[in-house]
């Protein structure tokens, strides 16, 4: 595998995804360029991409629905892969909801050609010569899914502002994929999906 | 695949798992025989066991942390696989936490020989000539993980009583696996894992 990581900004166009390689210790920000946009973030171990960031294992590690500042996201093998180091957004992020996929859009009445975060993930990995036989549950940055009475979940429009960023430090060499969620039938993106950016800092 | 389903009771010994085949429409109860015991429940489509009950897709379908009575559990392909039809327990069940596995017990200081729900799942499927290349996030019946302030999760001892049962109807032909969780280092089973039962009713 290529070990060089592109430092700098990669724009993730609305409804698409992009991937970035990160070395352990490197920092990456996911930036909401226009505001109100959800990003589905996936992370895979560089040495074996079947090992992936897992929401269910992360909850068991941190005893929270979403890690607090300084806490790790762990893989399905319970190894830290990212650490949450900074967040300039209002702080809403989700780790409860599956990535949108063709079956989700079929259920919402869309045509088979509707883009999805699951398809975006596959395409972004393929551009790096990679593939995985499943779609891990993503961490959905800027996604606002409050938990109410009796465990009821609400799907609310993202309130992140233009320029808001959530920043992670890589705890291992990994591949990060960010999908600018194309959901336009449920209001999480305010009805109009927009672009994101992946800002990779120079290695320490 | 064998299509005959064994009707009646299968005891799941403490720290072990057992599997059962269900035809669409058939009902199955998971029974806490002695009380205070968590069961990790997995379900797979009979026609292709890579399709499995998915917690993240189920939350997106029901807009709840755990389905309410009459609501479905869906697969990673968003098809209903089980429906919640009855529950005589106090009602605590979890769909947030990953199955325990060797890495979990290593982190808790146990030896490599400690049994786990992930290993139990593999063994129960193998006894049916089946395997899957991953451990789906289970639905953890009788497991008490309340969500508190700021999304904090607490791991509390199960309060199910001897004879309490949660009952599902199969929405498709499927394979159900129930692991009597061997967790004895975190207090969810009151420190002493005990047995469960799988009660399969006659087909309609």
- Over residues B95-129, the pLDDT tens digits come to 999 999 999 999 999 998 999 999 999 999 999 99
Distance between CA atoms of B87 and B109, rounded to whole angstroms?
Answer: 35
Token duo for residue A87: 């967040």
- Alpha-carbon torsion (B149, B154, B160, B161), positive or negative: negative
Query: Is B107's Cβ below 8 Å from some Cβ in A?
Result: yes
Distance between CA atoms of B21 and B176, rounded to whole angstroms?
Answer: 6
Half-sphere exposure of A73 (CA within 13 A, CB side): 29
Domain ranges of chain B: 8-201
Q: In angstroms, how far is the first alpha carbon of chain B from the final one?
A: 21
pLDDT at A37 over 50: yes
- Determine whether the interchain pair B97/A64 forms a contact, defined as Cβ–Cβ distance below 8 Å: no
Query: pLDDT by residue (tens digit) across B39-63?
Result: 999 999 999 999 999 999 999 999 9
3-state secondary structure chain B: CCCCCCCEEEEECCCCEEEEEECCCCEEEEEECCECCCEEEEEEECCCCCCEECHHHHHHHHCECCCCCCCEEEECCCCEEEEEEEECCCCCEECCCCCCCHHHHHHCCCCCCCCCHHHHHHHHHHCCCCCCCCCCCCEEECCECCECHHHEECCECCCCECCCEEEEEECCCEEEEEEECCCCCCHHHCCCCCCEEEEECCCC
Q: What is the pLDDT of residue B204?
A: 67
- Which helix (H) or strand (E) is A103 found in, with range? helix A102-107
Which of A40, A53, A63, A116 is best to mutate for the B interface (most B CBs within 10 A)? A63
Residues in chain A with CB shorter than 8 Å from the CB of B57 are: 98
- Determine whether the interchain pair A76/B155 forms a contact, defined as Cβ–Cβ distance below 8 Å: no
CA distances to A165, B99, B146, B151 from A65, in Å: 20, 16, 11, 5
Q: What is the pLDDT of residue A5?
A: 60
Distance between CA atoms of A101 and A110, rounded to whole angstroms?
Answer: 11
Measured between CA atoms, the residue of chain B closest to residue A96 is B56
In this prediction, residue A204 has a pLDDT band, given cuts at 50, 70 and 90, of low
Measured between CA atoms, the residue of chain B closest to residue A92 is B150
Query: Is A60's Cβ below 8 Å from some Cβ in B?
Result: yes
- Determine whether the interchain pair A56/B98 forms a contact, defined as Cβ–Cβ distance below 8 Å: yes
pLDDT at A145 over 70: yes
Compute φ and ψ for B120, nearest 5 degrees. Answer: -60, -40
pLDDT at A178 over 50: yes
pLDDT at A21 over 50: yes
Query: ipTM of this complex > 0.90?
Result: yes
Q: Which residue has better confidence, A17 or A150?
A: A17
Of A60, A101, A107, the CB nearest to B98: A60
Of A76, A78, A96, the CB nearest to B56: A96
- Determine whether the interchain pair B98/A59 forms a contact, defined as Cβ–Cβ distance below 8 Å: yes
Residues of chain B short of pLDDT 50, as ranges, are: 1-4
């Amino acid at each position: 595998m290529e070990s060089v990581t592109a430092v700098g900004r990669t724009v993730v166009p609305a409804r698409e995804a992009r991937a970035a390689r990160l070395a352990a210790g490197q920092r990456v920000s996911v930036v909401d360029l226009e505001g109100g946009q959800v990003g589905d973030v996936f992370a895979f171990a560089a040495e074996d991409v079947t090992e992936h960031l897992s929401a269910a294992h992360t909850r068991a590690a941190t005893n929270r629905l979403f890690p607090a500042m300084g806490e790790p996201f762990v893989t399905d093998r319970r190894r830290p892969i990212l650490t949450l180091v900074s967040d300039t957004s209002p702080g809403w992020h989700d780790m409860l909801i599956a990535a949108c996929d063709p079956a989700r859009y079929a259920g919402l009445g869309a045509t088979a050609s509707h883009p999805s975060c699951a398809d975006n993930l596959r395409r972004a990995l393929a551009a790096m010569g990679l593939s995985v036989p499943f779609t891990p549950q993503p961490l959905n940055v800027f996604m606002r899914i409050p938990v109410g009475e009796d465990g009821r979940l609400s799907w609310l429009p993202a309130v992140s502002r233009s320029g808001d960023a959530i920043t992670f430090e890589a705890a291992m060499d990994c591949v990060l994929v960010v999908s600018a969620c194309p959901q336009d039938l449920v209001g999480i993106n305010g009805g109009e999906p927009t672009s994101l950016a992946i800002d990779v800092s120079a290695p320490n």
